[in-house]
Amino acid sequence: MKKLVGMTEMEDALKRLDKLTQEEARMAAAQNLKATHTVDERVKGVADTVEAIDNKVAGIENQVAGVNDKVASVDDQVASINERVVTVDDRVKVVDNNVMQIIACT
């Protein structure tokens, strides 16, 4: 009888140990899940930040394109002015030649 009582106590102790082991495993799994959730939230935060930066970069790209268009327009205007300066230079040469002829005649 003592052996049976001892076995029952041993079996009860093993069952309690098994329950504690299972509970500990569930707690470890819950902690892992919590850590995973925290990491997931942080990754989502980083993704949101990256998206915001990407949007800002796109805005800057548009501004740079606008500046590039303005520079091209200024370049066209400078080319036009350069053509006018050449024409004026040609006229000054004609005037200079005329002045030289007048001086030579006097």
Distance CA 25, CA 42 (A): 26
Q: How far lies 12's CA from each of 3, 22, 23, 25, in Å?
A: 14, 15, 16, 20
pTM higher than 0.95: no
Work out the pLDDT band at 5, boundaries 50, 70, 90.
Answer: low
Structure tokens at 40: 């997931």
The pLDDT tens digits of the residues spanning 35-74 come to 999 999 999 999 999 999 999 999 999 899 888 888 888 8
Element (H, E) at 5: helix 2-105
Q: How far lies 89's CA from each of 68, 84, 100, in Å?
A: 31, 8, 16
